[in-house]
Amino acid sequence: MKRIFLALIFASTCCFTTQAQSKKPKHVASAVAALVKAMETGDRAALEKLSSEHLSYGHSGGHVENKAEFVEAIASGTSDFVTIDISKQSIDITGKNAIVRHQLDAKTMDKGKPGEAHLNVLYVFRKENGEWKMLARQAAKILK
């Protein structure tokens, strides 16, 4: 009887752990989706909320911004994403960190000039005070 009881506790714990872990990528994916929306709309408050104070935001051309510079560039329209389409996204979570990779295809209007961006993007999100925040981002142009 004792063995059966222990087996049931073990089985229920395994199931609960698996279910909890399977929800984590969905929470990170939601944070990424919210970030994409904030970048399209230039929503300063959302950009602030979704970015870590320690943000390192790397552009495909080599320029790196901190949180204040990133938020200001997007919110002011200096760096303007008209549309952003994400594909081929993968999420790998290790503890309080999540590595997100995806392909980004965007229409831009930087400084009033229309353009396009086709990038492979790597993000590191970190869980801070119960919320997933962008800690680091690096983009690379897609080579054809």
- pLDDT tens per residue, range 52-67: 999 999 999 999 999 9
Say how far apart CA 60 and CA 47 lie, in whole Å: 20
The domain spans of the chain are 25-141
**Position 139 pLDDT exceeds 90:** yes
82-125 pLDDT, tens digit per residue, is 999 999 999 999 999 999 999 999 999 988 899 999 999 999 99
- List alpha helices for 42-92, DSSP H: 44-50, 67-76
pTM of the predicted protein model: 0.82
What pLDDT was estimated at residue 103? Answer: 98
What pLDDT was estimated at residue 22? Answer: 53
Strands 131-141 and 113-128: antiparallel
Phi/psi-derived region of residue 63, left when phi > 0, alpha when psi is between -120 and 50, beta in every other case: beta
CATH code assigned to 25-141: 3.10.450.50
Say how far apart CA 81 and CA 83 lie, in whole Å: 6
